[in-house]
A and B are shown apart, each in its own frame.
Chain A
Amino acid sequence: MSSHQKSRRDVLKVAGLFASGGVLLRLSVREAAATPEMMRNAVRDAIGEAAVSKGKVKLDLPPLVENGNSVPCTVSVESPMTAADYVKAIHIFNEKNPQPNVISVRLSPRAGRAEFSTRIRLADSQTVTAIAELSDGTFWSGTIDVIVTLAACVEEPN
């Protein structure tokens, strides 16, 4: 009876080892992608140590993405876009693509409207962040959570 229990314990131990091995493997695969830490570094490279407030920036992406290779993305910022008060720059960042930067644009009061659209790649379900730099030196951010069912960068080339 006792030997029986021991063998059961051994089986469980081995199973546990396999399970933890699986976790390690997953972690090492994950390292190929950008992390929230890398994103913070990218943000620092783009805007320095400035404080970023939430608000004013609206990110428009489909909440459920079927194909991460081409995701329509629109960013708009509340701003009168006059010579005295306008948006100087907008940066988009992501957490889980291989690199955290997506696009950085520079605007002037001549834009008339602080808005632009493009199509981006998303490697995984994640949070996308946009940060706007205003002419008065303040920074504002907006985020959106996106679920991606088919990730970019995985398919074989034709």
Chain B
Amino acid sequence: MARALIHVPATARRGEVIEIKTLISHVMETGYRIGVTGKPIPRDIIERFVCTYNGEEIFSAKLSPAIAANPYITFFTVATESGTLTFSWTDQHGATQVQTAEIKVE
């Protein structure tokens, strides 16, 4: 679907609160803009973002057209154990992009 950038610390101490930064390239077309043809440009947005940590959901968001193009979301989680963080973005047509990041917890 698009290019996604994720920043997760490669290593963390057990119990440390870590910041996770995500960005995905997407137009987030609101459906309210008028195109060069004089017709409104159809709405095309990412509606849902979910982050799981070793399969357990730790953060989710419901997005609207009021989110700027190339949705950027940062949030926090407690580094509990080494494993995989999975990020998924789903657009209004149901297409999902999944990206993963590894973290080592000492």
Please report A residues at the B interface, Cβ cutoff 8 Å: 69-71, 94, 97-99, 101-108, 110-113, 115-122, 152-153, 155-157
Contacts and interface: CB of A to CB of B under 8 A. Distances in A.
Contacts of A120: 66-68
A103 B74 CA distance: 13
28 contacts: A69-B68, A70-B69, A103-B62, A103-B67, A104-B61, A104-B62, A105-B59, A105-B75, A107-B75, A110-B56, A110-B58, A111-B76, A111-B77, A112-B17, A112-B76, A112-B77, A115-B75, A116-B74, A117-B74, A118-B67, A118-B73, A120-B66, A121-B65, A121-B66, A122-B66, A155-B33, A156-B33, A156-B34
A95 B98 CA distance: 33
Contacts of B76: 111-113, 115-116
Interface residues of B, number: 33
A126 B74 CA distance: 24
A97 to B, nearest CB: 5
Contacts, number: 104
B7 to A, nearest CB: 13
A28 B77 CA distance: 46
Contact of B36 (A94, A115, A119, A156): A156
